[in-house]
Structure 1
Amino acid sequence: MSGIHRWEGAFGIAAAVAFVGAVLGFGAALPLFDPIGHPVALLGALGVPHALAFNLLGFALPGLLASLVALRLLLRVPRTAPWSMRVGAQLLMLAGVGFTAMGVLPLDTSDLDNPASQYHASAWMIWVLAFVPGAVMSGIGALRLPAWRAVGALHLACGVGVLLAAFALQALLPAPLAQRVAFGVWLVWLVAVLPLAPAARRG
């Protein structure tokens, strides 16, 4: 069990490396791509060179790994823990599915109002609206358990951080930059949550 526990921390790191590497690598390969002014989803938009590869590496793989992180977190939640920790972890799994869906449902830059672009926007909203309450609920519950307080603080900080970046910061920063901040906060949660979480107890 201790060996599995050590390796679980690699799931979040792999997700973060895949996402950041895909954004940097495919962004550098796409002429005229503005790493600050253009949305990340442009790299996977319909008709963009290597869009499928980006969607697989930048959205689908990190999203699947994020769902796996949330699943492993759920399996560590004590049976006597507040119900909000279990429901929150399930929402965190759904957030990973939403992130994956952004790669399955790429943006169409030729018409931002067509169904393809609306589906992509819906997937983004699923990611945000699942992660924020999932993290907050998990955090509130975790703070009630002494061994989980560091995890609870991480949940709350990242949940509020994604909420502010996804919505409030767009009034102060360009939308693509605010979105990158939201992604960055989520990646911090992915990398840190399993190493901070106590190992599951059996029996």
Structure 2
Amino acid sequence: MSRWLRRAPWLAAALALAAALVGGAAREGYSQLQHPLALLGARGAPGGDWFNALGFVLPGLLLAAAGSAWRARMQAAGWRVRIGATLAVFSALAFAAQGVFPLDPEHLAAGSSRYHVAAWTLWWVAFAPGAALLAGGTRPRWRHAVAATAVPWCALVPPALVGDALALRLGFAVWFGWWLFALRWPR
């Protein structure tokens, strides 16, 4: 795998983090601990298109490209590894789709908001079995197993434990961290 593709997860994580920090700082009354990231890219939000492009779409596409190249190198690997890597790529594409379909604060249960929520759901629903399958066929298995468990837990954690906004950020952090380590294999 090329050096550029190995660095793609670092660039993707840095872009998403920078977009969240800059977007949150620029929006009056926005709290990283209380508000969802998608609110920064909601329809009508100042700078929303930029946030969606730099916080969701570009990071997701970078990871999908790197993951596709990673998957292509696994032809000799078992079916678990190939399917797991494919699901991880789907997860990255779903992450990007969250920026393509921004939340609409006026219609949270309809239109673009429904597609955004569907993309968010596909993000973690594709990732969890993908990482679990990779845990069955690659080393170090514990990293894949932890990520396969932690990301859906963060997506579904009861809000009373840590709050929705923090749980979502933890899930994204685990997901990006997984990509940082996963693309190191195979060399």
Q: Smaller-chain TM-score range?
A: over 0.9
Q: Does 1:20 align with 2:17?
A: yes
Cα distance, 1:169–1:180 mapped onto 2, change above 3 Å: farther
Contact 1:139/1:156 (<8 A) preserved: yes
1:26-49 CA deviation, whole Å, 9 max, x = no partner? 110111111110000000000000
State the SS of the aligned residue for 1:172: helix
Question: Is 2:1 the counterpart of 1:10?
Answer: no
Counterparts of 1:108-119 in structure 2 under 5 Å?
Answer: 108-119=104-115
Is the CA contact (8 Å cut-off) linking 2:53 and 2:99 kept in structure 1? yes
The Cα of 1:119 is off from its aligned counterpart by 1.0
> Once structures 1 and 2 are overlaid, which stretch shifts more, 176-185 or 64-73?
64-73
CA distance in 1, matches of 2:131, 2:144: 5
* Residue 100 of structure 1: how far off its partner (Å): 0.7
**1:146 paired residue number:** none
Query: Given the alignment, which residue of 171, 174, 179 partners 1:185?
Result: 174
State whether residues 16 and 190 of structure 1, in contact with CA within 8 Å, keep that contact through their aligned partners in structure 2: no
Structure 1 residue 69: Cα displacement: 2.5
TM-score (norm 2): 0.94
Number of equivalent positions? 187
| Structure 2 SS opposite 1:36 | coil
| Structure 1 residue 140, shift from structure 2 partner | 1.0
Aligned AA for 2:97?
A
State how 1:41-190 maps to structure 2 within 5 Å: 41-77=38-74, 79=76, 81-142=77-138, 149-150=139-140, 152-190=141-179
Deviation readout 1:39-94 (Å, 9 max, x if unpaired): 00000000000100100000000100111232122123251x22111011111111
Moved beyond 6 Å, runs of 4+ = none
Instruction: Indicate yes or no: 2:37 matched with 1:40.
Output: yes
Give the greater-gyration-radius structure (CA): 1
Structure 1 residue 110: deviation in Å? Answer: 1.9
CA RMSD in angstroms, aligned pairs only: 1.4
> 1:92-136: per-residue Cα shift (whole Å, max 9, x none)?
111111011000000011221122211110010010111111111
Unaligned runs of 5+ in 2: none
Q: Deviations over 1:6-29 (max 9, x none)?
A: 433211000000000000011101
Structure 1 gaps of 5+ residues are 143-148
* Counterpart contact for 1:69–1:190, Cα < 8 Å: no
- CA distance in structure 1 between the aligned counterparts of 2:150 and 2:66, rounded to whole angstroms: 19
